[in-house]
Amino acid sequence: MKIACAFSITLMLLAGGCSKNDNPSAPADTNAGAIARIYVNPASGADGNTGTDSSPLKTIRKALALAKAGQRVELQAGTYDAASGQTYPDTIPNGVVVEAVSAGLAVLVGANQIAFVGSGNDTTRYLSFQGFQTIMQSASGVHVATSMSAVNVGYAFDLSGTAQAVMNGCTLTNSGVGFLTDIAQLTVNSSTISGQPGSDYFAVLKAATLLINGSTMTDAKASALDMADVSVATLFGCTISKVSLQGAGGSTSINMSGSSRLTLRSTTISGAYGPAVLLRDAGTRVVAKVCNFIGNGSGSGYPALWQSAGNLDVDSCYISGATSSGFLLQAGSLTIRNSTVQSMKGAGISTGAGTSLYMRNTTVSSCTWGILLIGPSGSADLGTATSPGGNTINNNLMFGIRVSYTGGLTAYAVGNTWRLSTQGANGSGQYGSALVTGPVNVADPANYSIDSNGGKIQF
């Protein structure tokens, strides 16, 4: 996969492990003419000290001024804020590690400031941050953060240029994670992100790349992920829940514009007030496989997945519980295979003028309407003579498929299973080969309805 290759450099940095008890004799800790570890204590230290464990420095800035590649700046327990003499931002030299002696007990506190500026490759471990605008700002280099916690932070990473970052096992509360632009790259592994920052958890712009593995995002006030331009994002094994900006349609879990591209694998998105994913522009593309979209569009009139434009490819997914449609396709194309769409208060799938629907081996059931085709010049392929659909479209409250427009469109629906023994279907819910021309208006529940003379369904 191309995106995996793009992150090969950063992923190599994970091989060192995440244990706090690192080996003091490791080669990275030996520097000729310099101590391997420089200690800092904001309460008992002094910047005139030697920087040893028993004679620590007072400020991070002094320690970083002395640190060389291969050394570690060890922050002893305490609060590193203006009252203790700390000033921000600090620049981490290339090849330097900054870590807490006791995990989570070195607390860096800022007043809407930048904590660190990257000048090369660096690592931070076991640190806690509060109140910063940004934790790491960089336009180059590779930056690894392990077991970090952040509270009330604007963004953990503000990356531009060629900067890359990796975040492992971190916990962020009321904090954004990444603002990415240019060709910057961010990988997030096994992290927990929750609460309501002032903006999105992730903003991915221009040609930036985001990879999130095994992470949880919940209770966002705005979007969990906002993508624009030609940015690329992949989520694997993630959970996004309860994205809720009450009364605003912008409260989508994932918001896409420009020609951004998104891949979802084994990911669950649930409980969003707006849609789980909103594709705004023609160049946007989403591929979702083995995913769950549950209870999204909980606000009145919002679908689970919304295409203003773009291309959506869904395979082996489960979609349920929107107050409107499961899929609202206003423009662009939808391909859905091996999936289940059920329990929608509106249609399972609703399409507009000029759209393209392709569906195979998918169940649409327990919705008010199954499939609603509205508007001329579209196409709907639910199965053909050479490629039977294998879909099951039954147990919907009103009808299985409705062709509702004034243009001339034939919906192909060969080889599917419908409501049993209804409207000409046999006891197994099957139709023989037949071309049905509208108008066909029957009492609900029904397998099909055609509003106009131009509409046709090929069984």
What are the tens digits of pLDDT across the range 183-227? 999 999 999 999 988 789 999 999 999 999 999 999 988 899 999
Q: Which two tokens stand for residue 258?
A: 């420009």
Q: How far is CA 158 from CA 188, 194, 201, 203, in A?
A: 14, 19, 12, 10
pTM: 0.91
4 in helix, strand or coil? helix
Nearest Cα neighbor of 60 from 40, 37, 43, 77 is 40
Amino acid in the structure at residue 282: A
Nearest Cα neighbor of 289 from 318, 250, 252 is 318
pLDDT of residue 250: 54
The answer to whether the peptide bond before residue 197 is cis (omega within 30 degrees of 0) is no
Q: Which two tokens stand for residue 151?
A: 């509270």
| Residues written for the chain | 459
On average, the pLDDT of the chain sits at 90
pLDDT of residue 377: 74
Nearest Cα neighbor of 211 from 15, 11, 16 is 11
Looking at residue 290, the DSSP 8-state letter turns out to be: S
Q: How far is CA 78 from CA 52, 104, 308, 348, 444, in A?
A: 17, 10, 51, 55, 70
Nearest Cα neighbor of 373 from 353, 346, 359 is 353
Q: Which two tokens stand for residue 276?
A: 């789980």
Q: Which two tokens stand for residue 28?
A: 């990275």
A 10 A CB-CB count for 12 gives 11
Give percent of the chain above pLDDT 70: 91
The β-bridge relationship of strands 456-458 and 435-437 is antiparallel
CA–chain centroid gap for 182, Å, is 19
Q: What is the pLDDT of residues 259-275, one digit of tens each?
A: 999 999 999 999 988 89
Q: Can you give the pLDDT of all 459 residues of the chain as single tens digits?
A: 434 444 443 433 333 334 454 433 333 333 334 579 999 999 999 999 999 999 999 999 999 999 999 999 999 999 999 999 999 999 999 999 999 999 999 999 999 999 999 999 999 999 999 999 999 999 999 999 999 999 999 999 999 999 999 999 999 999 999 999 999 999 999 999 999 887 899 999 999 999 999 999 999 888 999 999 999 999 999 999 988 765 444 578 999 999 999 999 999 999 988 899 999 999 999 999 999 999 998 877 889 999 999 999 999 999 999 989 999 999 999 999 999 999 999 999 999 988 999 999 999 999 999 999 987 778 999 999 999 999 999 999 999 999 986 567 889 999 999 999 999 999 999 999 999 998 998 888 999 999 877 789 999
Task: Give residues with Cβ within 8 angstroms of 1, minimum separation 6.
Answer: none
Q: With beta carbons less than 8 A apart as the criterion, state whether 156 and 127 touch.
A: no
Q: How far is CA 440 from CA 35, 214, 351, in A?
A: 86, 49, 19
Q: What are phi and psi of 72, to 5 degrees?
A: -120, 135
Amino acid in the structure at residue 427: G
Report CA dihedral (352, 357, 361, 362) to the nearest 10 degrees.
-20
The β-bridge relationship of strands 192-194 and 318-320 is unpaired
Q: With beta carbons less than 8 A apart as the criterion, state whether 44 and 56 touch.
A: yes
Q: What is the pLDDT of residues 108-140, one digit of tens each?
A: 999 999 999 999 999 999 999 999 999 999 999
C-alpha gyration radius of the chain: 27
Nearest Cα neighbor of 449 from 408, 411, 416, 414 is 411
Q: What are phi and psi of 10, to 5 degrees?
A: -70, -35
Give the integer Cα–Cα distance in Å for 90 and 75.
14
Give the integer Cα–Cα distance in Å for 68 and 228.
39
Q: With beta carbons less than 8 A apart as the criterion, state whether 145 and 170 touch.
A: yes
Q: How far is CA 419 from CA 231, 425, 428, 446, in A?
A: 43, 7, 8, 8
pLDDT of residue 245: 62
Amino acid in the structure at residue 285: R
Nearest Cα neighbor of 156 from 106, 103, 193 is 193
**Helix, strand, coil content of the chain in percent (nearest 5):** 5, 40, 55
pLDDT of residue 110: 97
pLDDT of residue 409: 80
